[in-house]
A and B are shown apart, each in its own frame.
Chain A
Amino acid sequence: MSALFAFGGGTATDAREIRRTILLMLGGLAVAAYILAPFCWLLLTSFMHERDALTVPPQWIPKNPTFSNYMTFIDPAGTRAIVGSRAAEQTFPGMLNSFIAATGTAALNLLLGTMAGYALARFRFRGRGGLLGLYLGSRVLPGIALIVPLYLTIKNFGLLDHLSALIVTYVSFTLPFTIWLLKNYFQTIPRSLEEAAFMDGCSWLQMMWRVLLPAAFPGLVAAGMFAFMTAWSDYLFAVILTSTTAAKTLPVVVAGFATDVTTERTLMATSGVLAIVPPLVLAFLFQRLIVQGLTSGAVKD
């Protein structure tokens, strides 16, 4: 354990250093196993035949691996799709809807969050502290408390089962965090950078576009990813506000699968994997920027 606390140093002997590295790697392996094991179980199940997925004791590695589960989703009208084919048909439209909703949420978040965050970071005005409190305070109520009035509001606008309603809803829930994060990030960027741009004759928009936003890139990526993840993961609002493939998102489709006892387990696993892949790719792609963005945006000196 003490290896965790200590920093490597020149005074330590080589043998100690090697022992330390081995200990750290063992710790790393334990963490990797903890993170990977549940996911691998899901992943491996998605490559199994239904019969193999039901054995006792469980097959850890599929004995007869198959792509047929994935084929069911690619071609729902195909031969194997008797069970759960309706949900299978909804998976790709659901994925597309999820992607549009999540991307739209992230984009709108960055636009509105940049504007508000910049104002809070740079301007002094009456009610500045109050405004920030208001933003953060709007997140105190749990979603479940808002769902009924929200449903009625969106119904009044005639936007039930529309992706735009989902996007606006997610934006209103993710925006406070985005604003807070971007405000903090902008505050770490020296004003002299802006001043120099203005000296060179940039307008405010040009300054933002050419100087401030590029400098704040990690913060923007982190904020955008958080908004994307929230929108992609949400189930509660999506299930209440959408009803058809016109706007149903992937978690709703997957939950429909999960609560239907007749669905094959391997198909469920496959839909789960499909629901994970897009955000996973983004998270891995932007890992460095996310940590960097949070370092300056969410963690203060």
Chain B
Amino acid sequence: MTSSTKAQSAIKAGFSPKASGIGYDRPLFAGLLNAPALIAIFLLAGYPILNSAWISLHRYNLKRPQRFDFIGLENYASILESSEFWSSLWITVKFTLLVVTVVTLLGVAIALLLNQRFPGRSALRTLILLPWAIPPVVNGLMWQWIYDSKIGALNGLLVSLGVISEYRGWLSEPTSALLALAFADVWNVLPLAVILLLAALQKIPGELYEAARMDGAGGFQSFWFITFPWLAQTLLVVLILQTLSAIRAFDVIYVLTAGGPGTSTTTLTWKTYLTTFENLDFGLGNAYAYVVSLITLGFALVYFRVLYRRGDFET
């Protein structure tokens, strides 16, 4: 047995051979390598997480900063009792469902297209990244003008095509404002879904399709029996990422609708912002933030369970 294969078999057995110069079971070195990341995350995520949990248990309003009274779960109770919470929860659900559904469907369709061979494909693969490079603030600004009731491009386009007869205030009606907001966000977040799905499509061995065609499978059959199963895990990842990012959408709301008209685009995240920075009610605001977090955590756990059960998620 040569020393190289000896080393390899030793590594397979979980040993740390001197010859290889590295211990695959050296916990100290592993800890050392993880320390900087851990410190950064603890200082700027861990500590604030704990601190905001603590604040959420207090009556603490910056309008009366000297008062910091422990009130237990009272903030949470008042959130659950308020109709504002339930209405913003409902709006969050509608917004998230809309964004996630459209992004997933469009994402799959575009990824499938980009996986085919046709002239201009590589240019399109590059072009698809464009919205990704646009900061949400700029994205909001851009769509604000597109939707503008007096001089907007959408009105101009639809009127000249004869779809609508006169200019409309897309952002001033509750239903169209939520739709407009969702579509502006979809445009911004679509590239990530497309490149993840495209990456997954590229991993599917071409022979599978060959074999399927030999067996006489049609286009739809080979999609359903080959493409879809291979795509399933990435689809779940896309669903997770998009759900979390839709629930957290903030910048685009800030620029585009500011939660309005009325409260028709006031999602939970926007409600958290209003409570914290408009009303300066830090206690209640942090409680709101925790409710949002619990909802996202719930989603994340459900998704991870599905991934685990499928055996796709390994550490």
Q: Closest residue of chain A to B299, judged by CB?
A: A140
Complex interface: chain A residues within 8 A of B206 (CB):
7
Within 8 A of B (CB), among A250-286: 250-251, 254-255, 257-259, 265, 268-269, 272, 275-276, 279-280, 282-284
Chain A contact-residue range equals 35 or more
Do residues A28 and B124 form an inter-chain contact, with CB atoms below 8 A? yes
Do residues A42 and B142 form an inter-chain contact, with CB atoms below 8 A? yes
Q: Which residue in B22, B27, B43, B137 is a CB contact (below 8 Å) of A254?
A: B137
Q: Closest residue of chain A to B167, judged by CB?
A: A56
Q: Taking the complex as formed, is B135 at the interface, i.e. its CB lies under 8 A from any CB of chain A? A: yes
Among the 9-residue stretches B79-87, B93-101, B174-182, B268-276, the one with 4 or more Cβ atoms under 8 Å from chain A is B268-276
Q: Taking the complex as formed, is B162 at the interface, i.e. its CB lies under 8 A from any CB of chain A? A: no
Do residues A195 and B7 form an inter-chain contact, with CB atoms below 8 A? yes
Q: For chains A and B in complex, what number of residue pairs have CB atoms within 8 angstroms?
A: 338
Q: Taking the complex as formed, is A158 at the interface, i.e. its CB lies under 8 A from any CB of chain B? A: no
Q: Taking the complex as formed, is A126 at the interface, i.e. its CB lies under 8 A from any CB of chain B? A: yes
Q: Taking the complex as formed, is B45 at the interface, i.e. its CB lies under 8 A from any CB of chain A? A: yes
Task: Tell me if A's interface is mostly helix, strand, loop or mixed.
Answer: helix
Complex interface: chain B residues within 8 A of A25 (CB):
118-120
Q: Taking the complex as formed, is B1 at the interface, i.e. its CB lies under 8 A from any CB of chain A? A: no
Question: Within the complex, what minimum Cβ distance (angstroms) separates B225 from chain A?
Answer: 11
Do residues A283 and B218 form an inter-chain contact, with CB atoms below 8 A? no
Q: Taking the complex as formed, is B29 at the interface, i.e. its CB lies under 8 A from any CB of chain A? A: yes
Check A233/B276 contact, CB under 8 A, given A38-B146, A56-B151: no
Do residues B52 and A149 form an inter-chain contact, with CB atoms below 8 A? yes
Do residues B296 and A265 form an inter-chain contact, with CB atoms below 8 A? no
Q: Which residue in B125, B156, B223, B286 is a CB contact (below 8 Å) of A148?
A: B286
Do residues B159 and A57 form an inter-chain contact, with CB atoms below 8 A? yes
Known interface pairs A6-B218, A144-B276, A269-B145; 10 further A-B residue pairs with C-beta atoms within 8 A, sorted by A's residue number: A2-B220, A7-B213, A39-B130, A41-B146, A143-B248, A145-B292, A202-B21, A233-B134, A282-B133, A300-B314
Can you sample 7 A-B contacts with CB below 8 Å?
A: A7-B222, A35-B130, A138-B46, A145-B290, A199-B19, A279-B134, A284-B126
